[in-house]
Structures are given as C-alpha cells and as structure tokens.
Amino acid sequence: MAKEALGRGLGALLGEIEEAYANEMPQKRGDIKEIALGDIRPNPYQPRKTFDPEGLAELADSIRDHGLLQPIIVVRDGDRFTLVAGERRWRACKLAKTKTIKAIVVSITQEQMREHALIENIQRESLNIIELAQAYEELIKMHDLTHEQLAQTLHKSRTHITNTLRLLQLNKKVQKALLDEAITMGHAKVMIGLSDKDQIVMTNSIIGQKLSVRDVESMVKSIKEPSSESKKEVSVMVMLDLAKMRERINMFGFTCKAQGSKLTIDFKDQAEVERFLALVES
C-alpha cells in the first residue's frame, strides 16, 4: 500500500515543484495568467510559518527591477484562487506593490495541495528544523510510511529523519528556545525523554548559566539515574541561576565565570584579591 502511494503520490512530487507539475499536468506558455494579488489567498496547508523579512525585501527589489521570472501555481477557489506553490514570491510581490502576479492555474485535490506544499519546502530547505519535523510527520501519516521509506524517497538518511522527528517530543517552550537559537541542537537532543518540567528547568539553566552540551549531558544522566541523592544534587545544580551575580562581579572589573552551581573568579594579582576583599567587607 505504501509503495503504491509512493509510486503515484509522494514519489511523483519530488524535485522542483514546477517540474513535477510539468510532468503530471503539461502547461503551455499561454496558460500563464496575470492574476490580481488580492484575489489569491495563501495555501492553508503551508508548513512554513516564518519568512525572512530581509530575504523578502531583497526578492521584492529584484521583482521591481526585473519582474517576476517564475510564475506561482494556484488552484481556482470559487471566484478567487488559492496558492499551491510560490508563497514567498507572492509575499514579495505584495511588498513590491505590484497589482498582479504571473500564475499557472491547475486543477488538483486538497491532498495534492498539501503534498506539494510539504515537498516544495522540504526540497528547497526553506523550513526551520521544527517545521521540517512536522512536515516529515505529516508525510509519514499521509502515506503510511516508515522512517526508512521516507528517507529513501527524500534521499535523506534514516538517522536524519528519525532524529529530526524526535524533536517533536520536546516541550513547546524548548522548541521555541531552539528556534530562537537560545539553545543549540546539541542541547535539544540531550533533553529528549525528560519530563516537560525537567526540560523547562534545564533550558532556563542552559540560557542563564551558558551551559555546554557536555554539562547538560552530565545533568541528564544524573536525572535518569535511580539514586535519589544524585537527583537531588543535579536538581540543586540546575536550579541555581548565577547569571546576575556573574554580571555584577564582572561590572567591578573582575573576570568571573558561572558553570552549573559553581562561580569562578580569576584574579590577575594580589592587588585584585585585596580589592575584591575590600568590596566584600564594605
């Protein structure tokens, strides 16, 4: 069943989206229409939620100077149209304040619209890591695929597919921290499997104490150990937020680092030691 789905469904959608349409639904050049921007609505199945403002502005400038070279693809929706592919171009044209946009009108099902939106963004690597994981998950459900089958179809490694999908197990706040680059992919992978509460506490500690991936690995290992004493120790270590103390000491001209539950001050000479003692005693 999955193989049949791949044969006509997902497999036929690989490669550039317009090439896929050219193979399945040949279009003549005369079929490209000029459609009013206001008559087009975004694809409701678009997996991409964020668009780089700077990149859109650059594309808008290019469209003003050279026009839109590649038409978007739409499907008729009553007396209006719905985007199938090309939302970034559509948004850039709106930014460039053009009144119309070049478009190819096709006739496809809602399921095909969803597939095309997913494949276009995956192939063009325009999704952030969480959106990519969600796109993989949706394709797996739509076509009843294994991780291995999806990996072969998308020409990715099974390890990549599995590790990306595992990110969906993270708490939403942790996912946001990852997208905001407050934590790294290395930090995120280590926290998979922890409770939501432990994930949030760990994330706050990573950000506040600038913990390394190795620090987090050590803490997670201690959390998962059966020893209640080790859990107590790592809990205290994780909960300490020394960021403000570190900043205050640095303001006085001392070199100070915070790691876990430890605060380290480096003194250049005895004079710095005496100056620090004077501040503490005052």
Answer whether residue 62 shows pLDDT above 70.
Answer: yes
Architecture of domain 2-164: Alpha-Beta Complex (3.90)
pLDDT of residue 174: 92
Q: Domain limits of the chain? A: 2-164, 170-239, 244-281
Active-site annotation holds for 87: yes
Phi, psi of 77 (to 5 degrees): -135, 85
pLDDT at 191: 92
User: pLDDT category, 7, cuts 50, 70, 90?
Assistant: very low
The pTM score is 0.54
- Report d(CA 84, CA 239) in Å as an integer: 48
The type of residue at 254 is F
> Residue 24 corresponds to which amino acid?
E
Nearest to 164 by CA among 183, 152, 177, 151: 151
Could you report the per-residue pLDDT of 203-241, keeping only the tens digit for each?
Answer: 988 888 888 898 888 888 877 775 555 555 444 444 456
Of these residues, 24, 87, 131, 272, which one is catalytic? Answer: 87
Residue 52 is predicted with a pLDDT of 76
pLDDT over 50 (residue 16): no
